[in-house]
């Protein structure tokens, strides 16, 4: 009697469809969370640059108390480095300082007043 060898290698169509469905469900859960994490990261970067710009502005005003600070470039000598893709605007004197930061892909704008309080 001759026995035929059956070919049992590979996956069935049902098994492949189940795997694809599971991957789709995992992607549907993971992608929105990833987008939220990125947005929080962009906003945290803008908040961090607001704090760093305020610290550098205080060092600037310590050396130039009667001067006005109107550009981010004037803070570079005091340790401020602007993060890429972030917009920073600064203006005012020591008693009327306003710093505004936001990330180009973020959804929040942070404003620092002359007392160092950050609002968004």
Helices (H), 64-119: none
What does the pLDDT look like over 91-114, one tens digit per residue? 999 999 999 999 999 999 999 999
CA dihedral (35, 42, 120, 86) in degrees, to 10, reads -140
Residue-range definition of the domain harbouring residue 94: 13-119
Q: Judge whether 91 lies within some domain.
A: yes
Residue 70 is predicted with a pLDDT of 87
- Mind listing the pLDDT tens digit for each residue in 14-60? 999 999 999 999 999 999 999 999 999 999 999 999 999 999 999 99
Whether 4 is in a domain gets the answer: no
- Residue among 99, 83, 73 nearest 44 (CA): 83
Number of folded domains in the chain? 1
Domain membership of residue 64 (yes or no) is: yes
Residue 2 lies in a domain: no
- Whether 106 is in a domain gets the answer yes
Question: What local confidence, expressed as pLDDT, does residue 78 receive?
Answer: 92
Reply yes or no on whether the pLDDT at 5 is more than 90: no
pTM of the predicted model, to two decimals?
Answer: 0.76
Would you state the pLDDT for residue 11? 85
Contact in structure between 90 and 104 (CB atoms under 8 Å): no
């Amino acid at each position: 009697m001759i026995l035929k060898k059956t070919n049992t290698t590979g996956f069935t169509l049902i098994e492949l469809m189940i795997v694809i469905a599971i991957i789709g469900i995992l992607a549907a859960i993971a992608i929105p969370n990833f987008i939220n994490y990125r947005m929080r990261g962009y906003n945290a970067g803008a908040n961090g640059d607001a704090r760093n710009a305020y610290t550098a502005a205080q060092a600037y005003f310590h050396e130039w108390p009667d001067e006005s600070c109107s550009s981010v470039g004037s803070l570079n000598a005091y340790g401020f480095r602007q993060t890429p893709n972030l917009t920073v605007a600064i203006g005012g004197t020591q008693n009327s300082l306003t710093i505004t930061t936001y990330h180009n892909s973020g959804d929040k704008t942070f404003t620092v007043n002359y007392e160092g309080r950050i609002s968004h």
